[in-house]
Structure 1
Amino acid sequence: MYLNYFGLADNPFSIAPNPDYLFLSPRHKEALAHLTFGLRESGGFVMLTGEVGTGKTTVSRKLMQQLPDNTQVAMILNPTLSALELLETICDELGIAYKDNQASLKHYTDLILKHLAQNHHRGINTILIIDEAQHLMPEVLEQLRLLTNLETNREKLLKVVLIGQPELQQLLKRNELRQLAQRITARYHLLPLNAQEVKEYVAHRLQVAGGDKGLFKASTLGAIYQITGGIPRVINLLCDRALTLAFTKQQLVVHRYLFMVAAGQILGEDVVRQRQGKQWTLILSGLMLAGVLLGYVAGSWHG
């Protein structure tokens, strides 16, 4: 409703994964580099973890865009599957025909291994990407490991990208999964944006939407980082609501107080107060530490 009012051609803070709004911060670029390097190595697995909303899907989409043309990708978005269902889904994704009346782990595994060998013979790389991988059951992960056993003298014929929340790291520490954990050639934990990156992120999305990068006041940008913790998805939700409030009040820029109102509506007043309190605690702790250090230096100098 506010697009025309602010001169925007599109919604700059939609949570839809529109590649036009892709913002790769230095840490997102580093994550992408780790995954790309891992897929070039001989091992079977690479792993990307991060908290909800930090941009793991963004990195995975960019990774897919950068894969060579001679690559066949199987993508699994809902991994809450049994081992049998997982193999069947992989067959579906790779276009492998199978017989329902012969459904068994061996039937699906034989078909997949045959397909991998054929792809390799034709010069085609095969990559399996699994999102929300923290939901995979240990026996399903073990089945994945067995699939990566097919290899040449130089490389695995199936590379697997595991993308998930931090719980995935804990899952792979289980004793029965130690063989799989040893096959991970690259892993990266994606952290939220820092304060400077939040400013650049907001400006980037406004610019792509054809708007003024100065729609959010400098004090507002500080509040965005403070309240969202630098998590892109939360930034989008709160900035969208803040622009709506600014429009209803016929204001040309988003002031800090309006953003705080938006944050309270989306996150709840208790959460906003908690995050503000945490910020002040850190500031006061820093001031106290600085005071102690200054006192120590002054005492040493006089002594």
Structure 2
Amino acid sequence: MYKEYFGLREKPFGKTPDPRFLFLSKGHEEALARLEYAVEEREIALLTGDVGCGKTTLSRALMDRCGTGYRFVLIFNPRMGALEFLRTMAHGLEIEQPARSKDDLLRQITGRLYDLYRDNLCPVLVIDEAQTITELEVFDEIRLLTNYQMDDHNLISVLIMGQPELRSLLRYQPMEPLRQRISLHFHLQPLSLEETMEYLDFRIVASGGVPGLFTPDAVQAIYELSAGVPRRINAVATNALLVAYGSDAAVIDASIIQEVRDEVTL
């Protein structure tokens, strides 16, 4: 459909967190640098941002950058009890038969972490959507992961990612022990108007097209509709490409954005 019409190899505004399409705004670049540092130093880091700002895509880009010396364990839905959380982590660490009792499970995890250390591999636990955690005991288990350490460094790095309400959750007094162990904090902001234009061009070029497909007045309209949130930008831009294709338009201007306004603001 519109891919051939606009000379694109693939869809430029897909919904999957493909690191090839990660636009490094100033904020995203700083966030990625901090996450890299946290992984290298085997620390606990906190990354927050509104829905659709690119947190998950950043974690995928981080995995690509870190290379073979790291073993990533991803937990996408941490809304679970403490034992289930530890068992999920154990599966990610390739423990074939995680124990049913907590004591035995912790011994398995301890042994696996030391095995990875001897193999010169650093495990990295990435907890996405951490604002959905409902049990305090799960946060306590995350904190206790820092007890796995050698004399000079931890045996595991932990990246906690979530929406802004996660910061409010961590301000509660029972969270103080975990909060003190988080060494790096970063909040990912939406894109600015200028970054929105750069983002649109970047995505088009990454898909095989040429920059300038979206006119400045279209960019302004997209920015106003999306508030600079990448996932919202993607939704508006995709609908605009479809409308432009259907009307044989060579470029996308503000009038096309107005046509899709009602659909993308439902």
> Would the TM-score normalized by the shorter structure come out above 0.5?
yes
**Structure 1 residues 11 and 156 mapped into 2: Cα distance closer, same or farther (>3 Å)?**
same
- Work out which of the residue numbers 86, 107, 112 in structure 2 matches 1:115: 112
Paired residue secondary structure (1:212): coil
**Structure 1 residues 18 and 97 mapped into 2: Cα distance closer, same or farther (>3 Å)?**
closer
Distance 1:18 1:34 in 2: 20
Q: What is the CA distance between 1:42 and its match in structure 2?
A: 5.8
| Residues 78-115 of structure 1 deviation map (CA, whole Å, 9 limit, x = unaligned) | 1111111111111111111336xx51211211110111
Distance 2:41 2:208 in 1: 41
Distance 1:243 1:42 in 2: 43
Q: What is the CA distance between 1:258 and its match in structure 2?
A: 1.3
Distance 1:202 1:97 in 2: 44
Q: What is the CA distance between 1:68 and its match in structure 2?
A: 4.3
Q: What is the CA distance between 1:123 and its match in structure 2?
A: 2.1
- Work out which of the residue numbers 111, 130, 136 in structure 2 matches 1:133: 130
Residue equivalent to 1:96: 95
2:200 paired with 1:202: yes
Equivalent residues of 1:129, 1:163 under 8 A apart: yes
**What's the RMSD between the two structures over aligned residues?**
1.5
Structure 1 runs not aligned, ≥5 long: 269-303
Q: What is the CA distance between 1:242 and its match in structure 2?
A: 0.8
- Work out which of the residue numbers 171, 192, 195 in structure 1 matches 2:169: 171
- Work out which of the residue numbers 106, 112, 117 in structure 1 matches 2:103: 106
Equivalent residues of 1:98, 1:108 under 8 A apart: no
Residue equivalent to 2:61: 62
Equivalent residues of 2:42, 2:158 under 8 A apart: no
Residue equivalent to 2:75: 76
Identity in percent: 37
Equivalent residues of 2:72, 2:126 under 8 A apart: yes
Structure 2 runs not aligned, ≥5 long: none
- Work out which of the residue numbers 210, 213, 216 in structure 2 matches 1:212: 210
Equivalent residues of 1:132, 1:164 under 8 A apart: yes
**Structure 1 residues 236 and 108 mapped into 2: Cα distance closer, same or farther (>3 Å)?**
same
Between Structure 1 and Structure 2, how many residues are aligned? 265
Q: What is the CA distance between 1:266 and its match in structure 2?
A: 1.5
Distance 1:118 1:10 in 2: 42
Paired residues for 1:4-23 under 5 Å: 4-23=4-23
TM-score by length of 2: 0.94
TM-score by length of 1: 0.83
Paired residue secondary structure (1:16): coil
2:27 paired with 1:27: yes
Distance 1:50 1:263 in 2: 25
Equivalent residues of 2:12, 2:204 under 8 A apart: yes
Q: Choose 127-136 or 114-123, whichever is displaced more.
A: 114-123
Distance 1:5 1:123 in 2: 50
Distance 1:39 1:82 in 2: 26
State the AA in 2 paired with 1:223.
Answer: A
Q: What is the CA distance between 1:121 and its match in structure 2?
A: 2.5
Residue equivalent to 1:290: none
Equivalent residues of 1:109, 1:147 under 8 A apart: no
Task: Report the structure number with the largest CA radius of gyration.
Answer: 1
